[in-house]
Amino acid sequence: MVSKATVLSVLGAACLASACVHIGPTRLRADQVDYSRALGDAKKREILATIVGLRYGDAPAFLTVSSIIAAYQFDSTAGATGNLGSGSEPNYALATGTVSYGNHPTFTFAPTTGEAYATAYIRPLAPELVLPLAEGGIPIDLLLRMTAQSIGGLQNGSALGGENAAGASGFFELLQALRRLQLAGELNVESRNEKGKSSVYFAIGATEGAKPPEVAADLARVRALLHLSAKTRTYEVVYGPSAQRGDRIPMVTRSVLGILTDLGAQVQVPDADVSSGATKPTVGLIGGETRPTIIVHAGAKAGNHAYVAVDYDGTQYWVERDDFDSKYAFTVLQNLMALAESDTSAKAPVVTIPAN
């Protein structure tokens, strides 16, 4: 006959062994999502901290998470004693066991410096790199408002201040007309690779047949603002302040640092910081724009429902979770930074999760 002690010992050891065997697959299912979200949240905080820091003239620094090692330790012991008894001795069984669990992840950070820093953050973004994002449905007005310093000689707002800091009204009028054409299916972005050279084109008035009056008016206005010929429908977007031809659209793009600096110039800051000279006044809005690209709030406390929040010099700065337009613009900004960083030697983070 098998004793009670034997049964308990076998059951205890089996349970502990089973827990140890299945820790790997269980942690993989959880960690794949959790670390992905944690990396995304950390990137959002880094971006917001950079935007606010640039508002106050701080030099930015970027750290890339190059590797994550999720180190788990699971130890177990089991034992049992018993006495079947004889005569007046009673029967008894005693099972013992210990379980210990440890989680000690290791993160490796690599600063972005030198040529990689210049390529990703200082050099202007090429039109053929950023404009194809509109092919995926990103609003063209939001994309150009963030990435273009000028289009066809029409100036966007500038974080440097001065008389023209808010930009030309024609620039914002152009963006609004392009967005209406995009929604009407009359504006497409075409990427081409000709003789090993990448280029990007705007197809304006892409559909055949008569146009509704409001669409025809937008088409005429866009061509007038950009000095385009009405004899063609496809126009190459080229980098530079002027194109000197009616079938090209000149565009001066911003760098990632330029985009972040411009977003910082729109952030509302405490009046005392402006009056003391710690930062410049907030750049105003013209041309029908009713709100900053990303609305960043400032106060003593961000609250528990902020989309992203950082502390700077004792003041909390945050983006509201129920502000969809600001969150969407923040997502577009993250995509732009990912595109810029893709041309550098930096590698994507590697997550290592031990399976035993």
Which residue, 140, 102, 122, 95, is CA-closest to 4?
Answer: 95
Number of CB atoms found within 10 A of residue 42's CB: 13
196 conformational bin, left if phi > 0, alpha if psi -120 to 50, beta if neither: left
d(CA 238, CA 151): 10
DSSP classification of residue 278: S
Mode of pairing for the β-strands spanning 315-320 and 306-312? antiparallel
The percentage of the chain sitting over the pLDDT mark of 90, rounded to a whole number, equals 39
Q: Evaluate if residue 5 carries a pLDDT over 60.
A: no
pLDDT tens sequence across 262-284: 899 888 888 888 999 998 888 77
- Long-range pairs for 322-327 at CB < 8 Å and ≥24 separation? 323/295, 325/291, 325/295, 326/294, 326/295, 326/296
CA 152 vs. chain centroid, Å, equals 29
The angle at the Cα of 327, spanning 326 to 328, to the nearest 5 degrees, equals 90
Please report the DSSP string for 231-275 in residue order. T-SEEEEEESS--SSTTEEEEEEPPHHHHHHHHHHTS---HHHHH
Instruction: Tell whether the model's pLDDT for residue 47 goes beyond 90.
Output: yes
Predicted pLDDT at 28? 67
Residues 70-111: tens digit of each pLDDT? 766 666 666 666 565 555 666 666 667 677 666 677 777 778
> For residue 332, how many other CB atoms are within 10 A of its CB?
20
More confident residue, 93 or 217: 217
- Residue 201 contacts residue 238 (beta carbons within 8 Å): no
DSSP H helices, the chain, are 4-21, 23-55, 114-117, 127-130, 140-147, 169-183, 213-226, 256-265, 271-275, 324-341
* Distance in angstroms (rounded) separating the CA atoms of residues 268 and 288: 19
Average confidence score pLDDT of the chain: 81
State the DSSP string of 334-354. HHHHHHHHTTSSPPPPEEE--
Q: pTM score, two decimals?
A: 0.77
Q: 112: alpha, beta or left, given left = phi > 0 and alpha = psi -120 to 50?
A: beta
Q: Per the structure block, which two tokens stand in for 212?
A: 């509704």
